Amino acid sequence: MHTAANPKVRLIIIGDEILSGRRQDKHFSKLIELLSQRGMQLAGAEFVSDERDVIAATLARSFATPDIVFCCGGIGATPDDQTRQAAAQALGVELALHPEAERLIAERCADNERRGQGSADMSLPENQQRLQMGVFPAGAEIVPNAYNKIPGFYIRNHTFMPGFPVMAWPMMEWTLDTRYQALHHNITRVEHSFLVFKLPESRITPALEELERKWPGVKAFSLPSMGETGHAHIDLGVKGEPGAAAEALAYLRAEVIRIGGQLAPPQK
């Protein structure tokens, strides 16, 4: 159950390249993995284009919630990067160069110079352009970037990161472990399931509905397979608090048997 003490966690992926199929999203599965390791759960995800007004509208709705939100993509300094501007628009605040971001970007330029890859002179046009990546909505805090020092930003329970997994994933971990450590393993949940053969979903549905009435904190699920492995079946299960989930699972298994379902594939 999501409460003020245990808010929902959501993911927003921003980028035309994802929507066109030019690149494949990898953040969805990774965030699920990182949350699971910490006893947390993803409540929702959405994909958004690079249009500033579309991003701003999405973020305005999101900022109005108490949710923890991870936003990936669009925080660079090229014309197709509109996330920083859209976040400021959604919040009704100005953009400003963050002093710590400015220092870190200058450090990155100095590192590049030592490697023979550019100049540390921050007055140069290319370095002035790099500083745009540290221009965040007023009131934002930085999110450290262990890969190349150029930070993301955090504001109103929303963490904004680059689209590159090599940068974004450590930033997700840092955020979960630094800002939200108190939420780790706050709720104990389990998930149990079993395969059922020779049973239509329509016949088991009343039992699933009754299960959720008897155990209000438990959710039932039914995932049918069309028989790709040789036998059509349903993956039936429950998820919730361990004690209640165990009781609900026993009830569901008994109901399957009572109405004629099979727990093993039929013999050929």
Do 114 and 176 share a domain, yes or no?
Answer: yes
Q: What is the pLDDT of residues 106-165, one digit of tens each?
A: 999 999 999 999 999 999 999 999 999 999 999 999 999 999 999 999 999 999 999 999
3-state DSSP assignment of residue 4 = coil
Please check whether residues 105 and 170 belong to one and the same domain. Answer: yes
* Rg value, the chain, Cα: 24
Domain encompassing residue 163: 9-183
Task: Indicate the number of domains in the chain.
Answer: 2
In this structure, are residues 220 and 208 in contact, taking their beta carbons and an 8 Å threshold? yes
Phi, psi at residue 170, to the nearest 5°? -65, -30
Return per-residue pLDDT of the chain as tens, 268 residues. Answer: 455 568 999 999 999 999 999 999 999 999 999 999 999 999 999 999 999 999 999 999 999 999 999 999 999 999 999 999 999 999 999 999 999 999 999 999 999 999 999 999 999 999 999 999 999 999 999 999 999 999 999 999 999 999 999 999 999 999 999 999 999 988 888 899 999 999 999 999 999 999 999 999 999 999 998 766 567 899 999 999 999 999 999 999 999 999 999 998 877 6
User: 213: domain CATH number?
Assistant: 3.30.70.1130
Locus of tokens 């300094």:
77
Are 100 and 150 a contacting pair, CB within 8 Å?
A: no
Is 244 inside any structural domain? yes
Asked if 211 and 151 sit in the same domain, the reply is no
The answer to whether residue 148 sits within a structural domain is yes
Residue 267 domain-assigned (yes or no): no
Say if residue 119 is in the same domain as residue 232. no
Strands 152-155 and 141-143, sheet pairing: antiparallel
Q: Is the pTM of this model over 0.95?
A: no
Residue ending a domain, choose from 122, 153, 183: 183
Whether residue 41 is found in the same domain as residue 165: yes
